[in-house]
Structure 1
Amino acid sequence: MILTDTHCHLYLDKFKDDLDEVLDRSSKEGIKHIFLPAIDWNSIEQMDQLRHSEITFYNMAGIHPCSVEENLPVDEEKLIELCKTDEFVGVGETGLDYYWSTDFVDKQKESLRIHCRTAKQTGKPIVLHNRESTTDLLDLIEEEQDGSLKGVWHCFTGTEDEGKRALDLGLYLGVGGVSTFKNAGVDKTVAKMPMEKLILETDAPYLAPVPYRGKRNEPAFIKNIAENLAELKNLSVEEIAEKTTRNAFELFGIK
């Protein structure tokens, strides 16, 4: 069984003391592919240092909406040049976040449009962060969608209608730890979404799934998310692993 974590921040300091052990545990659980979204320019350099004999890493380039203030103006030319190369498989993570601050909403939107243009110009998928900004996020994606924009709503927590709208806009849905929280309602929504548009993610070190909720998340826990999704979809864990890995490879253009 081969599992794929499509969204993981292994380069952060929360893994600096036991990174090798984290990766070994991931490999033993069947995780063979880990996708690394950036949060700023520095993280791109940090992710380049990750190595493991049994795991393949895939890098992305982008500025997280919560990092926009420190990275103004967002260097569109630099972003495009990076994402043109084979070293980067995706654009992001980008998006909107109204939870921490609404002081830079216009700048977040400006940054998101830059990332959308980069994704369309390079043919790479966009990775979308969304926190308390669903309507604005989907409205902006609809404005930018010209038939060539593809991507994923990372850490999907929307309603059924919001999920369907995202799918209609050409997005995949990232299924993470929140889908295992029984009081969140996300599990019921995910169960109604088409399997061919779902990919697995941890968002480690954040949002650990049950039974690790509240602890540091890590890629090995993708198996718990896969097991939960298997129950929701009435499929085997092996089928979930195969289908979500195939979906991820299709989205990110991995041969």
Structure 2
Amino acid sequence: MVLTDTHTHQYYETDPVKKAELMQRCLDNGISRLFLPNVDSTSISQVMDMVDTYPDNCFPMLGLHPCDVKANWKQELETIYAAIKETKVYAIGEIGIDLYWDQTFLAEQQQAFRQQIGWAKAAKLPINIHCRNAFDEVYAILKDEHNQELRGIFHCFSGTLEQARQIIDLNFMLGIGGVVTYKNAGLDKVVEHIGLNSIVLETDSPYLTPVPYRGKPNESSYLIHVAQKIADLHQTTLETVARITTENSKIIFGI
């Protein structure tokens, strides 16, 4: 059984021993494919260090996280773009719009999002989208930028069934993580109506820890609990969810 974590910041752990233990727990649970998004220019080296350490298991994505779109966003984009040109990446991300914490840089977030979508189109790469309290803003840009080649993952999806279908119609897959295991989140009611061919799995480690570890730091090995919850919702096996969602990830990332 092969499980794929399409979105993890497991590189935040910098202690080599603890990092090795995290990876071993992943492999023990069948999670052998991890896709790592940076968040800004300073985190590129952390991502690449983990990719260099585990080249058979870890794959980089690079982009500018919307929460890191500040006054110096243009310089940040220049640095990140230079890094993309120098290394093999499998997606542009995570990119998007976040209006949860601060709306000061909304216009800049929109510009950065469009610019990075342009990178993805030019390089024929998927995008990994961060969207928080900004579905309408993100969807408007995606619809405007849509073409047959633009694809990717709507990371940490937690919206309605109607929103899920809107995203899927634009050739994107839903990144489902620990929130689907939360009793009162309502995401389980959406996911049970979404075909497995439109879903990929993620942890967003160290955030959004699934039940039964909620309240503790998340890690990619906990992806198995997300997969099992989805299997239960679809009345199928863990192995089936692993197989289909991993195949979906291969379609997106090309590996």
On whether the aligned pair clears a TM of 0.5, the verdict is yes
Please, what is the CA RMSD of the aligned residues?
1.9
Give the alignment's TM-score, normalised by structure 1. 0.93
Report the CA distance between 1:81 and its aligned residue.
5.3
Give the alignment's TM-score, normalised by structure 2. 0.93
After TM superposition, where is structure 1 displaced by more than 2 Å over at least 4 residues in a row? Answer: 13-17, 51-55, 74-86
Moved more, 69-78 or 113-122: 69-78
Taking the aligned partners of 2:89 and 2:101, their CA distance within structure 1 comes to 28
The one-letter amino acid of 2:59's match is Y
Q: Which stretches in structure 2 are left out of the alignment for 5+ residues?
A: none
Q: Is the Cα contact below 8 Å between 1:38 and 1:60 reproduced in 2? A: yes
The one-letter amino acid of 1:116's match is I
Q: Which stretches in structure 1 are left out of the alignment for 5+ residues?
A: none
Structure 1 residues 86 and 251, CA, compared in 2 at 3 Å: closer, same or farther? Answer: farther
Report the CA distance between 1:150 and its aligned residue.
0.7
Q: Is the Cα contact below 8 Å between 1:14 and 1:205 reproduced in 2? A: no
> How many positions carry a matched residue from both structures?
254
Structure 1 residues 79 and 147, CA, compared in 2 at 3 Å: closer, same or farther? Answer: farther
Taking the aligned partners of 2:85 and 2:197, their CA distance within structure 1 comes to 27
1:228 aligns with 2:229: yes
Q: Is the Cα contact below 8 Å between 1:34 and 1:55 reproduced in 2? A: no
Counterpart of 2:168?
Answer: 167
Moved more, 78-87 or 59-68: 78-87
Counterpart of 2:22?
Answer: 22
Structure 1 residues 13 and 101, CA, compared in 2 at 3 Å: closer, same or farther? Answer: farther
Moved more, 77-86 or 241-250: 77-86
C-alpha offsets along residues 148-207 of structure 1, whole Å, 9 cap, x if unaligned?
211110001010000000011111100100011120000110111121110000000000
C-alpha offsets along residues 210-240 of structure 1, whole Å, 9 cap, x if unaligned?
0111110001000000000000111100010
Alignment of 1:77-116 (within 5 A): 79-80=80-81, 82-83=83-84, 87-116=88-117
Counterpart of 1:147?
Answer: 148
Q: Is the Cα contact below 8 Å between 1:206 and 1:216 reproduced in 2? A: yes
Report the CA distance between 1:13 and its aligned residue.
4.6
Counterpart of 1:187?
Answer: 188
**SS where residue 11 of structure 2 aligns?**
coil
The one-letter amino acid of 1:106's match is A
Q: Is the Cα contact below 8 Å between 1:62 and 1:91 reproduced in 2? A: yes
**SS where residue 240 of structure 2 aligns?**
helix
